[in-house]
Chain A
Amino acid sequence: KAGVTQTPRYLIKTRGQQVTLSCSPISGHRSVSWYQQTPGQGLQFLFEYFSETQRNKGNFPGRFSGRQFSNSRSEMNVSTLELGDSALYLCASSFTGRQTDTQYFGPGTRLTVL
C-alpha cells in the first residue's frame, strides 16, 4: 500500500508570494491533518479535514488555509508569504481522524521563503 505522498518536496519562494502544497493520503484514509515544523516552534497543528470539511484548526493566521477534495487529497495554501513561514510542512492521514487512529505522515514539503 502506498504511503502518504506530498508534493513538491522542496520549494523556494520570496516574501509576498503565495504557495500551494499538496498531500495524497493513504488509500482509504479520509482524514488529513497538516502540521508545521520549525526549529523554534517545533511541530504545530495547522488543521484537519475529513470528507471535505475542516473539523479542527490550530492557532495560525488566516493566511494559512486548506481544502480537501472528494478523493481525500488535500491542499494547503499560504498567501502573502513571510520569512517566518519557512518550515517543513507535514501532512498526515488516518482512517477517521479519531484520536485513537494512527496517523501516517508523509515526508514533508520543505518551504524556504527568501
Chain B
Amino acid sequence: AQSVTQLGSHVSVSEGALVLLRCNYSSSVPPYLFWYVQYPNQGLQLLLKYTTGATLVKGINGFEAEFKKSETSFHLTKPSAHMSDAAEYFCAVSFSGGYQKVTFGTGTKLQVIP
C-alpha cells in the first residue's frame, strides 16, 4: 500500500528564510507525487506535481520540489518565505495507472514570522 509521511506537523520560519517541508513516501511502484496548499477555510490548491521526467519540479509561488528515488523523498522548498506562504501544506502520492485515488500526508502548518 502507498503511504506518505510528512515530518513536522508545524514548521516556523522567519520571513525571507528558506522554507523546507519534508515528505517521504512508501510505494512499491513508481509514484506520482504532489504538493498541495490549503489556506484557512479554503480547499486545496495544487502547488506542483511529479509524474515522470525531470526530477526537479517547479511550481507556483516560487516553490519547487525534487523527487529522490533513492531516498524516497519529495521535499518542498522555497528560497525566501513570504508572509503570504503561511498555510497548511500537504504532500500526496498516487500510483501510475488507474484513476484518482490519492493518499495524502497529515499536513504541515507553516508559520512565517515577521
Contact = CB atoms under 8 A, between A and B. Distances in A.
A99 B105 contact: no
B46 interface: yes
Interface in B24-52: 32, 36, 41-46, 49, 51
B67 interface: no
Nearest to B46: A102
A95 to B, nearest CB: 11
A81 interface: no
A107 B105 contact: no
A105 B43 contact: yes
Interface stretch (B12-20, B72-80, B94-102): B94-102
Nearest to B103: A45
A103 interface: yes
B43 A43 contact: no
B35 to A, nearest CB: 12
Contacts of B51: 99-100
A6 B88 CA distance: 21
B45 to A, nearest CB: 7
Contacts of B36: 105
Contact of B32 (A31, A48, A94, A99): A99
Contact of A106 (B41, B43, B103, B106): B43
Contacts of A107: 41-43
A99 B106 contact: no
Given A102-B46, A102-B49, A43 B104 contact: yes
Interface stretch (A14-22, A50-58, A70-78): A50-58
Given A58-B101, A99-B100, 7 more contacts: A35-B104, A55-B99, A56-B99, A92-B43, A99-B32, A99-B97, A105-B44
14 contacts: A31-B99, A33-B100, A43-B107, A48-B101, A50-B99, A56-B101, A58-B101, A92-B43, A97-B100, A98-B100, A99-B100, A101-B100, A107-B42, A107-B43
